[in-house]
Amino acid sequence: MSEDVKKLPLATDNGWRNKRTQPTLPEVHRTVRIPKSGSWIKKFLAFAGPGYLVAVGYMDPGNWATDIAGGSLFGYTLLSVILLSNLMAILLQALAGKLGIVTGRDLAQACRDHYSKPVAMGLWILCELAIAACDLAEVIGSAIALNLLFGIPLVYGVVITALDVLVVLLLQNKGFRYIETLVIVLIITIGGCFATEIFLSKPDVGGILKGFVPSSEIISNPTMLYIAIGILGATVMPHNLYLHSSIVQTRKYAQNSSGKRQAIKYATWDSTIALFFALFINAAILILSSATFHKAGMTEVAEINDAYHLLTPILGTTLGSILFGVALLASGQNSTLTGTLAGQIVMEGFLNIRLPAWLRRLITRLIAIVPAVIVTALYGESRTAQLLILSQVILSLQLSFAVVPLIKFTSDKKKMGEFVNPLWLKILAWIVATVIICLNVYLLFQTFFG
């Protein structure tokens, strides 16, 4: 544990109900050194990394089915929705990073130190459900990829995904930079696979450019609107806000006004650039679906399995399906790495309870794996798609309970001091929150009653 952790002040800060305790992930807190001199590029590279762990949550298997369905049904039209959702994510992640840097608290700790104990416990339970749901989507995605690539039955594939706990523990003991490096390598793998897929599918460049321009048809067409809301409503991952507010504190920036200002600037650059990689991945899935399935008149393709099997005959090479499966596997495994960290941060932050990393990981994996094993054993592939949908619904339910406190805290002068959100940012953030909340309420209503 670094000396900075031991020296954290315990006096109650202005604007907080409770004292600040030691940070979550104490074993990596302020362990990455920031150069005091040198070019801005050198300093930025020292801060780069946490944004890519955050970006992983925006390209997880839970988003794939929606992007595939949107591309096969409506071509490139919904690319503008992917762009809009990404811009919302950039804003919220920047606020999460700022909260952690300025207050020394992650979002879970901030909720515990601001709200009464019953409210904080309720928020913790909701967040744990969201992390379990997200982990469930990643487990199923990895299992489907193993089944498609190697013919491994889904039940065994679900169990195999639990072994990634060993990778997380090994890398976390070596240092946080090792985890960041592995995540970035997997993101590059996913990007490389889809770049090749797009080259093979020969999409319409004019259609792509036009797709990034919002169309009134998105509002007037009920089916298109529903899928658009699915893309918007389920894109921002609530656990990412908790994750980002904690892992930005792995950097050893100066604990003064100028040091924090520099940290906010470079952390925002880091997450913004990384989220544009996520934009490329999500857009690439929709573009591939449009250039293959929609172009061939296959407008009903909405499931990952169908997309995998249809790519080979359409593209005329087995490489298309193989690359799709490899990207799916990399996406699932990448998401489980960050899901582990998020689970640890949430439990430690809300409850101030320290569990060994292996035990926290085991609990998280069992919560996700047990229902996945039961459903796949009883119903096979047909119900795994429904599990994916259920996981996105649970995430939608939790999102508002993470976004609203985040904006509230970063807009509080007592808590943030000179770093409080300016008026224009407050207004923009609350507009984004209102849009997300309304879309998620509509999405949930349609899911259960539509």
Token digits of residue 286: 């929709």
Length of the chain in terms of residues written: 450
How far, rounded to the nearest angstrom, does the alpha carbon of residue 22 sit from its chain's CA centroid? 25
Alpha carbon separation from 301 to 80, 307, 348 (Å, rounded)? 21, 7, 42
Specify if 18 maps to a domain: no
* Residue range of the domain that includes 138: 38-449
Whether pTM > 0.75 for this model: the answer is yes
Rounded (10°) CA dihedral 10, 16, 17, 23: -50
Summarised one tens digit per residue, pLDDT across range 128-164 is 888 877 777 778 888 889 999 999 988 888 888 777 6
pLDDT score of 199 more than 90:
yes
CB 381 within 8 A of CB 145: no
Specify if 414 maps to a domain: yes
Backbone φ and ψ of 251, nearest 5°: -90, 140
CA distance 60 to 37: 38
Specify if 57 maps to a domain: yes
DSSP, res 223:
H
Specify if 14 maps to a domain: no
- CA nearest to 305, candidates 64, 79, 63: 64
CA distance 346 to 46: 25
Q: What pLDDT sits at residue 1?
A: 47
Q: What pLDDT sits at residue 11?
A: 41
Summarised one tens digit per residue, pLDDT across range 55-75 is 988 887 777 878 888 899 999
DSSP, res 314:
H
Specify if 278 maps to a domain: yes
Specify if 159 maps to a domain: yes
Specify if 209 maps to a domain: yes
The CATH number for 288's domain is 1.20.1740.10
Cα Rg of the chain (Å, integer): 21
Total domains in the chain come to 1
The mean predicted confidence, pLDDT, of the chain is 85
Summarised one tens digit per residue, pLDDT across range 231-247 is 776 667 788 999 999 99
* Least trusted range by pLDDT, from 58-67, 71-80, 108-117, 123-132: 58-67
